[in-house]
Amino acid sequence: MAEAERAASPLLTDLYQVTMAYGYWRAGRARERAHFDLFFRQCPFGGGFALAAGLRDCLLFLRRFRLRDPDVDYLASVLPPDTDPAFFDYLRGLDASEVTVRALPEGSLAFPMVPLLQVSGPLPVVQLLETTLLCLVNYASLVATNAARLRLIAGPEKRLLEMGLRRAQGPDGGLSASVYSYLGGFDATSNVLAGQLRGIPVAGTLAHSFITSFSGQERLQSGALAPGDLSAQAETWLTRVCELLGRPVKDAHPGERAAFVAYALAFPRAFQGLLDSYSVMGSGLPNFLAVALALADVGHRAIGVRLDSGDLIGQAQEIRRIFRTCATRFQVPWLEFIPIAVSNNVDEALLAQLAQKGSEVNLIGIGTNVVTCPLQPSLGCVYKLVAAGGRPRLKLSEEKEKRTLPGCKAAYRLGGPDGAPLMDLLTLVEEPPPQAGQELRVWPLGSGEESRTLTPATVETLHRLYFQRGQECESLPTLTQARAFAQESLSRLSSAHKRREAPEPYQVALSEKLHALLESLSRSSRGL
């Protein structure tokens, strides 16, 4: 099986899903239809929105869902010995051919209590799907949302590179992080496998180990690149650069300079200098300028510099000033505009500073703080039964916020005259859809028993039918298309909902009939 088509195993689940499936089967409910909603209760990171992601992986899992003989044999070994053997024959015949999935499109804005996925089918089967679907959606949506927040902070002009593979939670987590950070708005990844499998732009040049491996005693052959010796040309330029900067030539580390020459010879059209292996201003910058100017003499331009420690903004500003000075003195105008890249444990607070006008930073590499989501390690999606046997079901709780919304539902996004989303409305599927220009009475969640009226200018149906009778019903967008859709959707969302701190909560409301059903079931469940 091609790596790109590897689906999650049906045994990537919790044992209690299997024991419940046996309980349903044993009770004669194997053919009973049930409906589950997969949703979250609070926006992550204290923010005002989330991005729905992971749908592609869910559909691949459903297409391939089948318990093979080794899977069933293993389950037989861990279930109690008095489990009816006929149950294992039943498991061998299971697939997702009777499962239906409606979902938010990949990259959609998502809000609390609005299902990301709606899953219906035979009760034991859709119960067995719970843990795997949650696993595939929770992390994907969390990383995509985290990346989208970072993109909003950075603004549209700064380039963002995801470089967190070495800090990710295992190879699967690393691949998912690269894919969904790109969906959330990053420009590229350092992860080569993500580039191969999903077509994400990849980027990367050199690390400190390359630079510190050189001593300066190496004999580097320019070959056909230059008519002369690039190392000797760089030495000549170093004298001129240090004279201009008022710095001693002896402070420029010879091994660093040799490393830059070696990299320029290997990649003359993609030479970038990592400046902080020794001293940024005393060694890294003079050595870079010397090699970049020598390379320019033979017709090639350096593509940038990178900083990985220290006062990133202060250094970037000083480097830009020196670039401008050298560009004027040496009559090389392009030098003024060489991109400056930074990395080094960039979090939201530091990113907000780097994004400020005048920081002189062009590209920002983020690793740990995008792939591990340290502000919130889990989105907290849940998968709750809302209908079984043709009847709505309700879960009450000692905590009111953990109450579910009963029944098979439709979801709509109501917009204002400018097209900006105003509210998501949940209705029962049998209700007629709301109409643009028609007054509605709704019950906003979290507002107690108070209703309100509004007249939407636009109405968008949120869920689409993606899976039925074992097949996908609609072609999924490419990752690049989903990324563009996410950015376009975010651009229409009010800035009040996108604030990094204390965002205005986005409103989700119930229709009159759904609110009445919720109240009726709540009273009857309490024996009132």
Residue 475 CB burial class (10 angstroms; 0-12, 13-18, ≥19): exposed
Among residues 145, 136, 125, which one has the least CA distance to residue 56?
136
> Measured between alpha carbons, how far is 312 from 306 in angstroms, rounded to an integer?
10
**50, containing H or E segment:** strand 50-51
- Domains located in the chain, CATH noted: 15-151+376-526 (3.20.140.10), 204-366 (3.20.20)
Residues 40 and 46: their CA atoms lie apart, in Å, by 13
Enter the pTM of the model.
0.95
Helix (H) or strand (E) holding 459: strand 458-461
pLDDT digits (tens, 9 = 90+) for 107-154: 999 999 999 999 999 999 999 999 999 999 999 999 999 999 999 999
pLDDT, position 396 = 80
365, two tokens: 């590499």
d(CA 486, CA 496): 18
- Reduce the DSSP state of residue 449 to 3 states and report it: coil
Tell me what percent of the chain is helix, strand and coil, each rounded to the nearest 5: 45, 15, 40
* Per-residue model confidence as pLDDT tens for the chain (528 residues): 334 467 899 999 999 999 999 999 999 999 999 999 999 999 999 999 999 999 999 999 999 999 999 999 999 999 999 999 999 999 999 999 999 999 999 999 999 999 999 999 999 999 999 999 999 999 999 999 999 999 999 999 999 999 999 999 999 999 999 999 999 999 999 999 999 999 999 999 999 999 999 999 998 888 777 667 999 999 999 999 999 999 999 999 999 999 999 999 999 999 999 999 999 999 999 999 999 999 999 999 999 999 999 999 999 999 999 999 999 999 999 999 999 999 999 999 999 999 999 999 999 999 999 999 999 999 999 999 999 999 999 988 766 777 899 999 999 999 999 989 999 999 999 999 999 999 999 999 987 668 999 999 999 999 999 999 999 999 999 999 999 999 999 999 999 999 999 999 999 999 999 999 999 998 887 665
Three-state secondary structure call for residue 184:
coil
**Ramachandran angles phi, psi of 120, nearest 5°:** -130, 150
| DSSP class of 202 | B
Burial (CB count within 10 angstroms: exposed 0-12, middle 13-18, buried 19+), residue 177: buried
Asked whether 186 and 392 are in contact (CB, 8 A), the reply is no
Which residue in the block uniquely carries the two structure tokens 């496998």? 193
What are all long-range contacts of 518-525, with beta carbons under 8 Å and residues at least 24 apart? 518/394, 518/405, 518/406, 521/392, 521/394, 521/406, 522/394, 522/396, 522/403, 525/394, 525/396
Q: What is the pLDDT of residues 302-330, one digit of tens each?
A: 999 999 999 999 999 999 999 999 999 99
